[in-house]
Each structure stands twice: as C-alpha cells, then as structure tokens.
Amino acid sequence: MIERVLPPGVRIAEAFADPEHGPDALFAQEAAHVAKAVDKRRREFTTVRVCARTALGQLGVDPAPLLPGVRGAPVWPAGVVGSMTHCDGYRAAAVSRITDHASVGIDAEPHAVLPDGVLGLIASESERRHLDELARAAPHVHWDRLMFCAKEAVYKAWSPLTGRWLDFLEADVAVDPGAGTFRARLLVPGDCAGGRVLTGFDGRWHVADGLVVAGITVTA
C-alpha cells in the first residue's frame, strides 16, 4: 500500500494486523517505554517497530532500539532517515539512506469522514473551499481525511529537517485528484541546518481498501 506513494529507493515494510509477537520483538528499552500502555498501544507500537526493522534490514542496517525522541518521532540509526505510521488495520515504516533522502514522511488513515470539528482545526478557509470543489467532482473520496493525512506526512517530513513544530494551519495543501499528488506550501520560514531553506513539499496520495495513505520524500 505505502509503496504506491514513495519512490523505489525508499525501503518499506507494512502489516495489516498485529500478529502474536514473541518476547524478543522489542528491545528492553522499547518494552519499558510501553510497559504501562494499554494492550492496543503495545501491539501497534510493537508491530510498527517490527516493520521498521524489516525495512532497515533491506538497507543492511542491524536491528536497534527505535525509541520516540523529541515530539514523539522515532530516533533512527545513524545515516538513516525514516517515518512510521499506524492506524486501525494498518502499520507501516519507510526508511532511506541519508545520502539518498534528507527526509521521509508517511501517514495512513482510515478512509472515512473526519470527526466533527476536526476539519476546522486543520484546514484554512481556502483549503476548505478546495475540499468542497474536490467533493463535488469526486464524492467517493473523503477529501477531508486525505487533507489530514497529507498534513501529517508534511509534519513528519518537516520535523527532522528543522527541529521545530509545524502547526496544521502553517502549511497550505492543494490536492491534484487526477495525478494522485499534493503540494504543501509552507506559510512559515523553513530554515534548516546546513543552510537549506524549505518553501514546501511535494507528495503523493493513494486510496484503497478502506485506507488513505500519503508520502513525502525530500531528496538529499
């Protein structure tokens, strides 16, 4: 599923359920992090890290603990960038060598209408008008959920590059329904370490099997 929105050089692994994992599925540090979590949280935490280690193995990277860092993003092994996502019925991880990509951001969501009140928190007035136009042209897609998914991917691509928070309303997203792409225009300065300046992100989206996924890669 997630491979539909990422270039071939990015390594991915995904799961559509939480299998019974053995006691060695998590490193001790990871197990301690979710020791007091509810069963659902432990299962998704474990499965997505099994996915991540599978993807890392495709790069030739040895298994290592993948602990949440600043703002909850996973801390990847040296020389690697990546992103994880999980929602009901789906877990996925995507990784790349930092020499190939400077950042990767993925997100998956149930393909269903957003809960009441959420759209007003994540989308500007102009974005909501854009979504209305999309809904009139293609009512079979939950464009509000796709907007949320795209903005989550934007944040996951932004955060490791800038080390800063990005609010939902600080990126303006325009979706191309025919090409399966979206463009996020940043409304705040995107200064990065090393002098790189971000003005926006280009991403891809896909809807199938009750899910919507979005992916962004930033070339190194």
Q: Which two tokens stand for residue 92?
A: 């996925």
Q: Are strands 101-110 and 211-219 parallel, antiparallel or unpaired?
A: antiparallel
In angstroms, the CA 177 to CA 155 distance is 21
DSSP string, 25-50: SS-HHHHHHTTTS-HHHHHHHHHHHH
Give the pLDDT of the chain (220 residues) as one tens digit per residue: 999 999 999 999 999 999 888 878 999 999 999 999 999 999 999 999 999 999 999 999 999 999 998 777 899 999 999 999 999 999 999 999 999 999 999 999 999 999 999 999 999 999 999 999 999 999 999 999 999 999 999 999 999 999 899 999 999 999 999 999 999 999 999 988 778 899 999 999 999 999 999 999 999 8
Domains annotated on the chain, with CATH: 2-104 (3.90.470.20), 108-219 (no CATH)
Q: What pTM did the predictor assign?
A: 0.95
